[in-house]
Amino acid sequence: MKKIAVLTSGGDSPGMNAAVRSVALKANYHQIEPVAVQYGYKGLIDKNFLPLMNYNLGDMVHTGGTKLFTSRFPEFTDQVVQEEAVSNLKNENIDGLVVIGGDGSYKGAQALADLGFPTVAIPGTIDNDVGGTDFSIGFDTAINTAVDAIDKIRDTATSHERIFVVEVMGREAGDLAYWSAIAAGADMAVIPEIEFTTEGILEDIDNSRLLGNKRYLIVLSEGVMKGYEMAEDLSCEGRHKVRVSQLGHIQRGGNPSPKDRVIATRLASAAVETLIEGQSGICIGMRNTRAERNKISDVLEQETNFISEINSKRFDFLFN
């Protein structure tokens, strides 16, 4: 193996740069030339290839966003486009590819592997909705950001004895909402994986008031509904005044937490080793503190850990 390329795809996540740096250093250590592909899968078609050793690798590990840029490139679902990508990779004499991204990016990686191009993926998304890993790169930083914001909202909510709906990201997955609700001591988490009723929340608000708690914090996952829609539903024609805060893209930015930096470094290093061993169609995840290899095709079929944990109802005592 003489040349390995790396790309970041889908939504950026804190720690992607740490992963890219680790690919570069690990490849270089094995006398393999690392290549950067800019703008995700789109860069494979636009031939955005650059020598990765030209990047300032010494100042990368702590930075947010992705220095390789990223894109959402729906055209990549087309096999003709995928074949063009493989042909462009081969013309650059690239022998293997590391993909850093979420569940959508994993599908792109699988497609390249199916076409016979050696491809390995690692999980980079704040959503934590990828199987085969306990945590995706960026999730820890995003929870920290969300909890920091919710703690601040709590101060003003308590001072004014208000009901707040805090809408957090996560697409169809409730991980970010649930983890941040637990960590911030919210009164309610509303996530796609658990059914809820407006009446149930209103009853809980009443019970909470009877217990002397006039402030009520709801952490709502974007996958359920919009924050302002929930506020409308809970207002009971003006009986409750409900404030809304949509945390939005603040959750995707910022310097990665040390945990995300370390996970990113380890997974990317393992991805290069996997390519060197001649394997393809593999994703590397973090399982019980160890880097674990799985087939991407298996992982795309699996439930994530979070869904199994939610189904075990272990946290029912916190939220109803």
Other CB atoms closer than 10 Å to residue 91's CB: what's the count? 10
Binding residues among 91-150 for Mg ion as defined by CB under 5 A: 102-104
Distance CA 109, CA 18 (A): 20
**170 contact, one of ligand F6P, ligand ATP, Mg ion, none, CB 5-8 Å limit per kind:** ligand F6P
| Phi, psi (deg, nearest 5) at residue 67 | -70, -15
Contact 22, 60 (CB under 8 A): no
Among 252, 266, 270, 280, binds ligand F6P (CB under 6 A): 252
Judged by CB under 6 A, which stretch of 81-89, 93-101, 165-173, 224-232 contacts ligand F6P? 165-173
Least Å from the CB of residue 41 to ligand ATP: 4
The two three-digit tokens of residue 216, written as one number: 């009520």
Q: Is 175 exposed, middle or buried (0-12, 13-18, 19+ CB in 10 A)?
A: buried
Residue among 128, 145, 181 at smallest CA distance from 307: 128
Backbone torsions φ then ψ of 96, nearest 5 degrees = -165, 160
Residue whose CB is less far from ligand F6P, 33 or 175: 175
Nearer to ligand ATP by Cβ, of 157 and 177: the residue is 177
Please give the positions annotated as active site.
127
# chain residues binding ligand F6P, by CB under 6 A? 10
Q: Whose Cβ is closer to ligand ATP: residue 11's or residue 131's?
A: 11
Asked if 174 is part of the footprint of ligand ATP (rule: CB under 6 A), the reply reads: no
Nearest to 222 by CA among 170, 292, 298, 156: 170
179 is written with which tokens?
């983890």
Annotated binding-site residue? 222? yes
What letter does residue 257 receive in the DSSP assignment?
P
* Residue 107: contacted member of ligand ATP, Mg ion, ligand F6P, none (CB under 5 to 8 Å, by partner type): ligand ATP
Q: From 107-115, 187-195, 230-238, 268-276, give the range in contact with ligand ATP by CB under 6 A.
A: 107-115
Asked if 302 is part of the footprint of ligand ATP (rule: CB under 6 A), the reply reads no
Q: At what angle do helices 258-276 and 16-29 cross, to 10 degrees?
A: 40
Q: Locate 184 and state its tokens.
A: 């911030």
65 binds ligand ATP (CB under 6 A): no
Residue 166 near residue 226 (C-beta atoms within 8 A): no
Residue 192 sits in the site that holds ligand ATP (CB under 6 A)? no
The residue length of the chain stands at 320
Site mask, ligand ATP, residues 122-151, x = CB under 6 A? ---x-x------------------------
Which residues lie near ligand ATP (CB under 6 A)? 9-11, 41, 72-74, 76-77, 101-105, 107-108, 111, 125, 127, 171
